[in-house]
């Protein structure tokens, strides 16, 4: 369904294929103009034509490698200068399933540059304008490995844990400023990401792989429902709420003047 209500402009990174391309289509149908960012011009141009033909929304294409500082800086400048932008979807990322001892550290550093540094800098470029205008939203695509980092490559899991933690801090800091934050944590999803990581996800996670379109539709439904954390596959949100409640319950005892008694430390105050 295509809406004629203009929602502003959405920036979608990693938009040429998979989850990013689906977000682009769904957001255009919701009434957003688009700025699509990826490395492959041919795929971006094809997607832009299809979206424009199907929705009549304006689509701008920016060819950029967000792991490259110069390209990233150009995208940051665009986001800072365009006051029509109301939504940033930080989707661009790379995955790895290789164990630490089988991983190339340069490739891990490149993963951090894309999954962590680029996401952070683009968010910093967008949020001050959102706050100034009193309206805007950031959707950060994390992963279930953000809460079970031992499931795959440790650097990949840690990078997605960063995305979740960064999003939680933003949600807290921006409360009451008119800016929405959503962290989306997909499980195994059928996208080209896994082929690039050398994993046949349908074999590795047989019977547990979600279609990318279904994942995005569920994530956007979670956004509409006001969720901060959206785990598309999780049947009962009470499980996430219990997880968060347990984390919050520890907070008063995480920083105290004395070590816990179980360590048997004779403290200075007791000496």
Q: Which positions ≥6 away from 11 have C-beta within 8 Å?
A: 34, 35, 37, 79, 85, 87, 88, 89, 122, 126
Q: Are 95 and 191 in contact, with CB atoms under 8 Å apart?
A: no
CA-CA distance, 4 to 100, in Å (whole number)? 49
Q: Are 58 and 33 in contact, with CB atoms under 8 Å apart?
A: yes
Q: Label residues 16-33 b or e (16+ Cβ within 10 Å = b).
A: bbbbbbbbbbbbbebbbb
**Residue from 168, 182, 141, 166 nearest 247 by CA:** 168
| Six token digits for residue 19 | 């989850």
The beta strand positions in the chain, using DSSP E, are 9-13, 33-38, 59-63, 85-90, 136-141, 179-184, 189-190, 210-211, 229-230
Q: Are 34 and 27 in contact, with CB atoms under 8 Å apart?
A: yes
N residues, the chain: 271
**Residue from 14, 23, 12 nearest 213 by CA:** 23
- Select which of 23, 156, 162, 263 is catalytic: 156
156 an active-site residue? yes
Catalytic residues, by residue number, are: 156
């Amino acid at each position: 369904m295509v809406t004629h209500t203009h929602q502003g402009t959405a920036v979608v990174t990693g938009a040429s294929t998979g989850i990013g391309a689906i977000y682009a289509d769904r957001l255009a149908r919701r009434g957003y103009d688009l700025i699509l960012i990826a490395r492959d011009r041919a795929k971006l141009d094809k997607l832009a034509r299809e979206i424009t033909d199907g929705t009549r929304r304006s689509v701008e294409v920016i060819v950029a490698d967000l792991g490259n500082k110069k390209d990233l800086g150009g995208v940051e400048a665009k986001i800072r200068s365009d006051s029509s932008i109301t939504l940033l979807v930080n989707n661009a990322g790379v995955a790895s399933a290789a164990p630490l001892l089988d991983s190339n550290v340069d490739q891990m550093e490149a993963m951090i540059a894309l999954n962590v540094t680029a996401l952070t800098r683009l968010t910093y470029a967008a949020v001050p304008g959102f706050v100034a205008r009193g309206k805007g939203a950031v959707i950060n695509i994390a992963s279930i490995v953000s809460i079970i980092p031992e499931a795959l490559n440790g650097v990949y899991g840690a990078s997605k844990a960063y995305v979740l933690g960064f999003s939680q801090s933003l949600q807290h800091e921006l409360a009451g400023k008119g800016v929405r934050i959503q962290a989306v944590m997909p499980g195994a999803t059928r996208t080209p990401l896994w082929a690039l990581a050398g994993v046949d996800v349908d074999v590795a996670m047989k019977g547990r792989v979600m279609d990318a379109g279904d994942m995005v539709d569920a994530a956007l439904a979670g956004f509409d429902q006001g969720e901060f954390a959206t785990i598309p596959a999780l049947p009962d949100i009470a499980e996430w709420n219990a997880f968060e409640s347990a984390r919050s319950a520890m907070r008063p005892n995480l920083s105290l003047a004395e070590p816990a008694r179980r360590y048997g430390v004779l403290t200075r105050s007791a000496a």
